[in-house]
A = this chain, B = another copy of it.
């Protein structure tokens, strides 16, 4: 595969307009070839118009055809894994093994969505048959199911160059829904983005799908992305990144003449409540577990445990001391970009100066661009008075909050903003009910006796949570629930059978489960 550094606009490419971008080697900082060209306003408009033209064609595609397309992308990623991961490790400093497993995850994700749309049950088909003799008025036949929203703009994330980027979860779920996708490439892995983008375009062509099913645009700063979100053809937005950038996109989308939904996954500190019983029972295991969870991927996971809430005491002190020692001994590692690393170092040094905060442990310093773990401590009374301490420092930094008793622990839980996850480490479930009630209202996923990192791509996963964890806590960006972000229900009244979408026809040709007159059934006729 060859890189050209040009946006992929439908089946064509963008041109050079003077604004250049460079991919950087994450470890050495050197520029990597080729030079990338930012898309022009005209190219953005063209991508959006092509997507609008493709939208009704994709909307009518059978589940089997959508599945074929998703699987074609998956196969191409697998076939080109060596090239994709070689470029990825240069651009992100993520180890080769991590890049390989992330491509595997991306492939699995595409195939899970393929299986889902092929089966067809995800459309939530509902049928109410007519009652012509009902008094006082006859009841007409009503049938409804989920239909695609239209063109979706996806912003690739820096920390998952495959699974949350060009052909990642947002794109896969939008394609599964039947929506065209325009990806704004993340500047942290431009070459990886173009390689994946080329494969998606190949799959579009091979599957005979219309031009505009997919486009990939490069751009410096926020201008191109915002132009996409403002474009009247665009109907929804998927984003993973900072709270600031996500909130800006929310504002831009809300200010459109026609406001559109934004699904932004933004910020989470993933509080972990460690009860005394757990320390008593599993201190050594938890020292290993939290060291790994905090430093995994240099802490660059949205589910990184940023707060450990403990009850003060001798056993807790010993546990935290052991965890601190292990973190202090963890070697530094290169972060995704110089910018992310600089923000982390700044965040850590500011936190060390915060009133009432002490440094418990800090890993060794390393070369420029590398980061070490940092473990801080504060009292619950101080934490609840300083909202700044609840802010995320993206990277391997964790704050231990010492509570005098359960009441203080609940008070800490009660001031928490929306989170992707909360974790409870306890001896048994009997003593966690009060905590579950408080944190359950604020998070997308509650983990019992585990670690927040590690997000399964499955039917039951919820990777979401109330604001500011995401812009829209009613959604998940991982797992098959993610498709629900890009669809809306449409009802067909008194339609002749043959004019209905296949999922709603009497004969139930797909054999899917449907809510027929109030009963879920796979009945072949109604």
Contact indicator A493/B447 (Cβ below 8 Å): yes
B126, B137, B496: the one contacting A454 at CB < 8 Å is B137
Contact indicator A448/B492 (Cβ below 8 Å): yes
A210 within 8 A of B: no
Contact indicator B445/A490 (Cβ below 8 Å): yes
Binds B, one of A13-21, A275-283, A455-463: A455-463
A450 within 8 A of B: yes
- Residue from A259, A466, A481, A520 whose CB has the most chain B CB atoms within 10 Å: A259
Q: How far is the CA of A496 from the CA of B55 in the complex (A)?
A: 45
Q: How far is the CA of A490 from the CA of B422 in the complex (A)?
A: 11
- Residue from A250, A436, A447, A474 whose CB has the most chain B CB atoms within 10 Å: A474
- Residue from A460, A466, A468 whose CB has the most chain B CB atoms within 10 Å: A460
B137, B473, B487: the one contacting A488 at CB < 8 Å is B473
A60 within 8 A of B: yes
What residues of chain B lie closer than 8 Å to A517, measured between beta carbons?
459
With contacts A56-B437, A520-B121 known, is A491 near B461, CB below 8 A?
yes
Q: How far is the CA of A499 from the CA of B447 in the complex (A)?
A: 12
Contact indicator B462/A518 (Cβ below 8 Å): no
What residues of chain B lie closer than 8 Å to A375, measured between beta carbons?
none
What residues of chain B lie closer than 8 Å to A459, measured between beta carbons?
126, 128, 515, 517-518
Minimum CB–CB distance for A105 against chain B, Å: 11
A254 within 8 A of B: yes
Q: How far is the CA of A402 from the CA of B473 in the complex (A)?
A: 46
Contact indicator B456/A128 (Cβ below 8 Å): yes
Contact indicator A56/B441 (Cβ below 8 Å): yes
Contact indicator A481/B489 (Cβ below 8 Å): yes
Minimum CB–CB distance for A411 against chain B, Å: 15
CB-based nearest B residue for A473: B488
A186 within 8 A of B: no
Binds B, one of A138-146, A153-161, A306-314: A138-146
A418 within 8 A of B: yes
Q: How far is the CA of A417 from the CA of B102 in the complex (A)?
A: 42
Contact indicator B450/A495 (Cβ below 8 Å): no
Contact indicator B144/A460 (Cβ below 8 Å): yes
Contact indicator A436/B487 (Cβ below 8 Å): no
Contact indicator B461/A488 (Cβ below 8 Å): no
Minimum CB–CB distance for A69 against chain B, Å: 20
What residues of chain B lie closer than 8 Å to A449, measured between beta carbons?
494
A127 within 8 A of B: yes
CB-based nearest B residue for A143: B460
Q: How far is the CA of A491 from the CA of B455 in the complex (A)?
A: 11
Minimum CB–CB distance for A388 against chain B, Å: 15
Contact indicator A467/B140 (Cβ below 8 Å): no
A133 within 8 A of B: no
Interface residues of A in 175-213 (CB under 8 A from B): none
Contact indicator A520/B513 (Cβ below 8 Å): yes
With contacts A59-B441, A450-B140, A489-B481 known, is A499 near B432, CB below 8 A?
yes
CB-based nearest B residue for A121: B520
A498 within 8 A of B: yes
What residues of chain B lie closer than 8 Å to A446, measured between beta carbons?
490-493, 495
With contacts A437-B60, A460-B128 known, is A448 near B496, CB below 8 A?
yes
Q: How far is the CA of A518 from the CA of B310 in the complex (A)?
A: 37
Q: List 27 A-B contacts (CB under 8 A).
A: A56-B438, A121-B520, A126-B459, A128-B459, A128-B460, A140-B450, A140-B454, A142-B461, A149-B473, A149-B474, A250-B254, A258-B467, A259-B471, A429-B499, A433-B499, A444-B488, A446-B490, A446-B492, A446-B493, A449-B494, A450-B494, A460-B491, A473-B488, A474-B488, A476-B489, A481-B489, A513-B513
